[in-house]
Structure 1
Amino acid sequence: MRYKHIFFDLDHTLWDFEANCIETLQELYTEHALEKRGIPSFETFYASYSVINDKLWDRFRKGFITRQDLRTKRFSLTFLDFKIGDDKLSASMGKRFLEILPTKTALFPHAVEVLDYLQQKKYPIHMITNGFEETQLLKMQHSGIQHYFTHIITSETCGSLKPHREIYDFAVNLASTTASDSIMIGDTLDVDILGAQQVGMDQVYFAPNEIVEGVKPTYTIRCLSELKAIL
């Protein structure tokens, strides 16, 4: 086997973050009667939330804001788009979001099939994720995939975020392997793929919807089942 250790990203790679997030936010939109607060539809609410959340995550990865800033501001700023200033509502939404989201179980097609295949091939499989420790572990537990992973490395565990090399060095050392003997599978070019490249690790860019141009990965796949031809 060319590779001795496999590293996966979680959100948008195995765990279908968008599907699970939409389902969670739809529940919260109804639970908090947001239509009565002046937000005309769930679609407009989700469109605003998505833009703001993506910007805040980018700032968080770059070290400009804290975890608590991210958790509170993604709702308070979304509500301000609709001229709603309500700190109590924002705090309630933030709390409920983190309670509900990790219980959702949607995975990408063939995720379990591929994990079974890699396990049968005797690959040690690990996780490298920028998500928060408690939340990510709950996602994996509820979706039934935690048992596939030998090591689960979160940004909280090692104090570094992808694409910084420290989190990859931490992961490689924890797995007692080398970057050249490993491969990283993830959905984001400037996070998963760039980070792996910086430590000399091959990469698989998972792009189920749209292939973004930029950093050149070792491999590009549109479906997780394509991993069987690589590994």
Structure 2
Amino acid sequence: MKYKHLFFDLDHTLWDFETNEQETLLELYNSHNLSGRGVPSFEEFSISYVGHNERLWDRFRKGFITRNDLRDKRFRLALLDFKIGDEKLTQAMCKEFLEILPYKTALFPETVETLDYLAAKNYPMHMITNGFEETQLLKMKNAGIDQYFTHIVTSEVAGSLKPYKEIFEYAIAKAGTTATESIMVGDAMELDIKGAHGVGMDQVYFNPAKPPVDFTPTFTIGHLRELKEIL
């Protein structure tokens, strides 16, 4: 086998972040009666939150804001879009979001079947994720996939985020392997694919939506089961 170690991204690759996030936001929208506080619809609230969250994550990855800034501001800004300036509500939603989200269990189709196949072939599998340690470990445990992974490397513990080379080098060293003997599976072109390429690791770009790309990965797949044709 060319590859001796497999590295995976979690969110948007195995764990269906969009589905789980939307379910969590809907619970918060209903439990805090946001419709009664001037938010016209859940869809509008969701669009506002997701937009702020994506922009804040980009700023967090670039080192412009802290983890606490990210967690607080995404709800504060979303609520302010609807002229709700309630700090108590902001803090409650921030806290509850992080309590509810990790217990959601939606995975992409055939995630477990594909991991079973790879485990049966005795591939050591590892996780490299930009998420926060406690949250990511809970997600994996509750979705029933934590047992597949030998090492789970989060940006919080590694002290670096994808796409920077330090987190990949940290994960490679922790696994006791080399970049040339490893392959990275992920959905984010800049973070997972170009990040892995930057340390000399081959890549599998999980790209169900087939958006245009400006870089040619080692492999591109539209469904996780296609990993069986590569590995």
Q: TM-score, normalised by structure 1?
A: 0.99
Structure 1: which amino acid aligns with 2:109? P
Q: Distance in 1 between matches of 2:139 and 2:2?
A: 30
**Which residue of structure 1 lines up, in the alignment, with residue 199 of structure 2?**
199
Q: Which residue of 1 aligns with 2:118?
A: 118
- Displaced runs of 4 or more, over 3 A: none
Contact 1:189 1:214 in 2 (8 A): no
Runs (5+) with no aligned partner, structure 1: none
Name the SS for the 1:24 alignment partner. Answer: helix
More off after superposition, 174-183 vs 211-220: 211-220
Map 1:185-196 → 2, pairs under 5 A = 185-196=185-196
Which whole-Å CA distance do the structure 2 matches of 1:190 and 1:39 have between them? 34
| Residue 22 of structure 2 corresponds to residue 22 of structure 1 | yes
What letter is aligned with 2:47?
A
- Counterpart of 2:196 in 1: which secondary structure? helix
How far, CA to CA, are the matches of 2:210 and 2:69 in structure 1? 30
- Matched with 2:37 is 37
C-alpha displacement at 1:86, in angstroms?
Answer: 1.0
Distance in 1, Cα, partners of 2:13 & 2:60: 20
- The Cα of 1:210 is off from its aligned counterpart by 3.3
- Deviation, 1:211, is 2.5
Q: Deviation of residue 117 (structure 1)?
A: 0.5
Cα drift, residue 102 of structure 1: 0.1
Task: Give me the whole-angstrom Cα distance separating, in 2, the residues matched to 1:213 and 1:48.
Answer: 26
Q: Which amino acid aligns with 1:16?
A: D
Aligned pairs for 1:19-98 (under 5 A) are 19-98=19-98
Alignment of 1:161 with 2:161, yes or no, is yes
Aligned mates of 2:94, 2:138 — CA distance in 1: 17
CA contact (8 A) 1:202 1:218 kept: yes
User: d(CA) in 2 for partners of 1:47 and 1:5?
Assistant: 38
**What stretches of structure 2 of length at least 5 have no aligned partner?**
none
